[in-house]
Amino acid sequence: MGIAPSKTLAKLANHAAKKYKGTKGVVDLTNRERQRRLMALVDVGDVWGIGRRISEKLIALGIKTALDLADADPKSIRLKFSVVVERTVRELNGISCIDLEEAAPTKKQIICSRSFGERILEKQLMCEAICKYVTRAAEKLRGEKRLTKSVSVFIRTSPFSKGEPHYSNSMATELPNPTDDTRDLLEVAEVLLDRIWRPGHRYAKAGVMLMDFYEQGTYQGDMFRPHEGKKKSKELMSVVDKINHSGLGNVFFASQGVTPQWSMKREHLSPAYTTRWSDLKVVR
């Protein structure tokens, strides 16, 4: 958790809360001296909004840390880069230039992807992981009140594993009609996985992406390919979501695996401050 007078500083505070164990998960940057001490430890490339190319140009100008950027002249930075980087300079000085969004904008795509705690070698385990990600992505899609017409699946090994062949592949397909039914998406995802799966590899990561969204009731159908959706799809998905959000039980598809043997990599999982009492900080 990061607390600061601007969004960019809050991002830095959150980054420090995760990186330094001594913070116990919370960093308060409302104090200017504390802001400067932290910024002196952060590379300019790690500042929110500063990409690799911009960071290389800043380093060439002698701006190597977040503190160097904060001390730079905003007008000069605007002339050499852009108004966006100028705002970043002002944000690092505690001047809020980026409004907080009270309502999140509608997503243009939904990605559900995780690295595995242990390498996956069996196709069945990979299928369970993909189906789990599809289920989560579909739940998010319904939360956005959208339908999707395009699904993509990807799998890859770790490029950092020495002595092991590297393999990475993805495949996307367009659905006949937009849908938010998890069952439709699971069918498509399993077919895509069959096409990109290669045995003999130790897979480190996989994911699912939903794209090409439509609002419910606004899609113009194809008269030569009528939509034959599953009966009572909306009602069934609504019931499943309500049960899973109630905290009283959990409904899942068998393709996710009854007792999954795979696990996500979660060493740096953020505490669930808003949904778990045990994760709340205690003030004495």
Chain segment 208-244, per-residue pLDDT in tens: 999 988 887 666 666 666 556 677 888 888 898 888 8
The structure's pTM equals: 0.59
- Residue 277, domain member (yes or no): no
**Shared domain check, 114 and 239:** yes
Reported as a single tens digit per residue, the pLDDT across 93-119 is 888 887 765 555 667 889 999 888 889
Between CA 271 and CA 92 the distance in angstroms is 26
Report how far residue 3's alpha carbon sits from residue 156's, in angstroms, rounded to the nearest whole number.
36
**Any idea what the CATH number is for the domain that residue 244 is in?**
3.30.1490.100
Whether residue 131 is found in the same domain as residue 85 = no
CA distance 107 to 141: 9
Same domain, 131 and 26: no
83 shares a domain with 149: no
Position 87 in a domain = yes
276 burial level (CB within 10 Å; 0-12, 13-18, 19+): exposed
| Mean pLDDT of all residues belonging to the chain | 85
- Residues 156-176, mean pLDDT to the nearest whole number: 90
Is residue 252 domain-resident? yes
Query: Based on the domain organization, do 155 and 251 belong to the same domain?
Result: yes
- 48 & 142 share domain: no
Least confident of 46-50, 180-184, 279-283: 279-283
Euclidean distance between CA atoms 40 and 16, whole angstroms: 12
Helix (H) or strand (E) holding 210: strand 203-215
DSSP 148-209: EEEEEEEEEE-TT-TTS---EEEEEEEEEEEE--HHHHHHHHHHHHHHH--TT--EEEEEEE
Same domain, 117 and 246: yes
CATH number of 65's domain: 1.10.150.20
Task: For residue 235, tell me if it sits in a domain.
Answer: yes
- Integer Cα distance of 47 and 87 in angstroms: 12
Judge whether 71 lies within some domain. yes
The H-or-E segment that residue 57 falls in is helix 52-60
What domain range includes position 74?
A: 2-92
The enclosing H or E element of 126 equals: helix 123-143
**Residues 251 and 147 occupy one common structural domain:** yes
Highest mean pLDDT out of 53-62, 185-194, 261-270: 185-194
Based on the fold, state whether residues 180 and 245 are members of the same structural domain. Answer: yes
**What stretch of H or E contains 136?**
helix 123-143
How far apart are the C-alpha atoms of 100 and 6, rounded to whole Å? 9
pLDDT score of 168 more than 70: yes
Q: Are residues 134 and 232 in the same domain?
A: yes
- For residue 68, tell me if it sits in a domain: yes
Domains: count for the chain: 2
Q: Is residue 273 part of a domain?
A: no
Mean pLDDT, residues 178-200: 93
Residues 132, 242, single domain; the answer is yes
| 160 and 51 within one domain | no
In a domain, 284, yes or no: no
The predicted structure's pLDDT at residue 104: 53
Question: Phi and psi (nearest 5°) for 32?
Answer: -65, -40
User: Of the candidates 61, 92, 123, which is a domain's last residue?
Assistant: 92
Arithmetic mean of pLDDT, 232-260: 83
